[in-house]
Structure 1
Amino acid sequence: MREFHGLDLNLVRIFNAVLDERGVTKAAERLHLTQSAISHALARLREVVGDELFIRGPEGMHPTPRAVELGQAFKPALLQIESALCEPDFHPASSQVEFSISTSDYITATMLADFMARQRELAPNTRYRVRSLNEMNVTEELDRGSIHVAIGVFGKTPARFISEPLFSDRSVWLMRRGHPAAAGLFGLRDLAAYPHVDIRISDQIGAGDGGLIDQGGLERAHITSNPREIEALLNAETLKRRVGMTVPHILVVPSLIATTDMIAFTPLRLAMRAAASLDLVWRDPPYETAPLMISMLSHRTMGAHPSVRWLRKEMIQAGRQPRANDEISL
């Protein structure tokens, strides 16, 4: 049995940083240490654990199976130690903590923009790392503690996660002001008359499936333009849909339709902000649509930390109070 008495907890802290960043350079920047110090710490931990821990590859340092196991144990352990040793209260005005948030570009450009405007006064020294929701396994990242919260559209949720509703949004058809379909009646024939911008954020599900993907018992949906439903509605009227462009990022949509006759099906919060800056308008869909229910997930263990409790409370505040200029009407 290996000797663990006297193990330097800084080795665990450094290990977690390298695991999160997948590299020595970024871990050193995050911890304000030299790359040499990071490398020496990893060498000491390798000797203690008896495992290589990381293997260098073309896209960074990849953890060994043993390193993945250690990461799952170290994250909650460090937070519990921090909770035991530090003050039980979190002071946002003086804190320099860094929060890791997983979400989409749509949420980042709308709700998180409002959230950051508020934090400029409440917590001026806190830092936020936003990671793409569509490029990770949310269940694994929450379990590892490498993200504090995840924000998106979720279905079935494992009991070890806390799910908190943030806001409900609906989708509308966005187009340039002066578009032939911007005034008068707006029906299915108008949807067939003009090319669409399709939003396909991920290949993990087929375009327009509108379904949920399962990640270790967590159901997660992608926010897309839902072309399959629209095609079915048009086909029922012997109409055909036209696609002008398919894009992987929803934030590029407003600029694409600002100077063309393409139209796009986007969340209303995004449409409102785009309309204010690019002189766009939106129309309600001529058919029934289900609302987007945006929720926040956190781990029951790590989400109970005072700093994460504060983050969750502020996120809920940002979700429920959209800015006044979001109330633009046609």
Structure 2
Amino acid sequence: MRNFDFNLLTVFAVLLEEKSVTSTAARLHLSQSAVSKQLAKLRDTFDDKLFERTSYGLRPTPKALYLAPELRQILNQMSQLTRASEFEPKLSQRQFRIHMVETAYSLTYPYFMPELLQKAPNIRLNSQTWHLGTMDMLQRCELDLGIACREWDNRSLQHIHNLPDELECVELLRDHPVCLVSNRHPLLKEPWNLASFLKYRHLQVTFGGIDHWLLDDVLNLEHLHRDIAVNMTDFHSAMHLCEHSELLLCCPAKYAAKMSQHFALTTLPVPTHLIPGAYVLLWHKHFNFDPSHTWLRELISSRTLAHYQANSQT
């Protein structure tokens, strides 16, 4: 390791993400031959194949997966050392990795992205939908930012104060659930209360790596439960099914206000008291003094907060 070329670590990291020599070469602006030669050097250095060829691309070996968290940490530290102490948005070509819950895309991107494109035209945002492994990735500094849903209600295990100590957060907006039903649903001719809410079967969307909602935690305290007929992972498809069935769909109010207008759906309040939750921007403390990271998260938070404060009546 005395004469180790630390540039190989960047190749290693991109191979772990792309799982393809061709894609890695394109992303790093190298030839496939150059990437193959560097992979061979990595295999010699670590005395392991690191990647095995399959019909679906390269599969990391157990040792490669073991090295991945430390690799990302080393690259982050090297990046911090070489990054300028002052950030010039117009000159930056940095790529940021962001995971966010499905409903957050339409609630945040339209309010900060236009200014980002104007002030930092060469910055790239690689955003993916939040999944079960996202929190661990944030804690390992494998992601720059995350946007998740957290609760302020003390009855919830997803309380905002229960976040890992390594993470920082800022609240972007508050929201609460509403109930969507077909415009032809028979319950619209009945009194709307908790009894009618529980009388009919429900359609549930699992998102943000959370398989149950505050609503269900609160109902369970009263020894009540919803009859979940279908569990899905996509709100748009769920709204389409809700429109054409007698299933009830609970959905975050602000997202429902944007999307339900495209469907023949009626919005009703959830007939039990719930403290509104929040969408929060998350990052590892490692990035606290990173100028470009600070610039981006302040842009996201300030523009999103400003929009919802100006439209607080919605």
With structure 2 as the length reference, what TM-score do the two structures score? 0.80
Return the offset for 1:270.
0.9
The one-letter code matched in structure 1 to 2:175 is D
Q: Which moved more, 1:52-61 or 1:279-288?
A: 52-61
Q: Given that residues 101 and 207 in structure 2 are in contact (C-alpha distance below 8 angstroms), is that contact kept between their aligned partners in structure 1?
A: no
Q: Give the drift of 1:250.
A: 2.5
Q: Who is 2:242 aligned against?
A: 257
Among residues 161, 166, 172, which one is paired with 2:172 in the alignment?
166
Question: Structure 1 301/195 Cα, relative in aligned 2: closer, same or farther at 3 Å?
Answer: same
1:200 equivalent to 2:206? Answer: yes
The reply to whether residue 50 of structure 1 matches residue 47 of structure 2 is yes
Instruction: Give the partner amino acid of 1:305.
Output: D
How much has 1:264 moved relative to structure 2? 1.0
Shift of 1:43: 0.8
Please list, as runs of the form range in 1=range in 2, the aligned pairs for 1:133-172 lying within 5 A after superposition: 133-139=130-136, 141-152=137-148, 153=150, 155=159, 156-172=162-178
- Correspondence 1:277-296 to 2 at 5 A: 277-278=262-263, 280-296=265-281
Among candidates 78, 87, 90, match of residue 87 of structure 2: 90
1:71 is matched with 68
**Structure 2: runs of 5 or more not aligned:** 151-157
Provide closer, same or farther for how the CA distance between residues 20 and 56 of structure 1 changes in structure 2, counting only shifts above 3 A.
same
* Offset, 1:267: 0.6
Note closer, same or farther for the CA distance 1:143–1:22 as it changes in structure 2 (3 Å cut): farther
Superposed CA offset, 1:177-226 (max 9, x none) = 56555688521243245442222349xxxxxxxxxxxxxxxxx7456595
User: Tell me, what secondary structure is at the counterpart of 1:105?
Assistant: coil
Structure 2 counterpart of 1:19, from 16, 19, 27: 16
1:104 deviates by: 1.6
The whole-number CA distance in structure 1 between the counterparts of 2:240 and 2:44 is 54
Structure 2 contact 112–303 (Cα < 8 Å) conserved: yes
Letter in 1 for 2:143: I
RMSD: 3.4
CA offset digits 1:220-263 (Å, max 9, x no partner): 74565955755886x76xxx965554322233222333344433
Identity across matched positions, percent: 24
Q: 1:33 aligns with which of 1, 16, 30?
A: 30
C-alpha spacing 1:301/1:324, structure 2 compared with 1 (3 Å): closer
Other-structure match for 1:121: 118
Of residues 160-169 and 7-16 in structure 1, the stretch that sits farther from structure 2 once superposed is 160-169
With the length of structure 1 as denominator, give the TM-score of the two structures: 0.76
Shift of 1:116: 2.8
- Partner amino acid, structure 2, of 1:307: S
CA distance in structure 2 between the aligned counterparts of 1:90 and 1:276, rounded to whole angstroms: 41
Please tell me the residue identity of whatever aligns with 2:180: L
Task: Give, in whole Å, the separation in 2 of the partners of 1:229 and 1:144.
Answer: 33
Number of matched residues? 304
SS in 2 for 1:172: strand
- Amino acid across the alignment from 2:70: A
Q: Kindly state the Cα deviation for residue 265 of structure 1 after the two structures are TM-superposed.
A: 0.7
**1:15-71: per-residue Cα shift (whole Å, max 9, x none)?**
111112233233223223233222211111222232222233454433334334443
Matched residues in 2 for 1:232 and 1:162: separation? 31
Q: Which residue of 1 aligns with 2:153?
A: none
What CA distance in whole angstroms lies between the structure 1 residues aligned with 2:115 and 2:238? 27
Question: Is the CA contact 2:98–2:125 (under 8 Å) kept in the aligned structure 1?
Answer: yes
Deviation at 1:301, TM superposition (A): 1.7
Specify the code of the residue in structure 2 equivalent to 1:80: Q
230, 233, 239: which is aligned to 1:248? 233
Question: What is the identity, as a one-letter code, of the residue corresponding to 2:286?
Answer: T
Is 1:11–1:45's contact at 8 Å kept on the other side of the alignment? Answer: yes
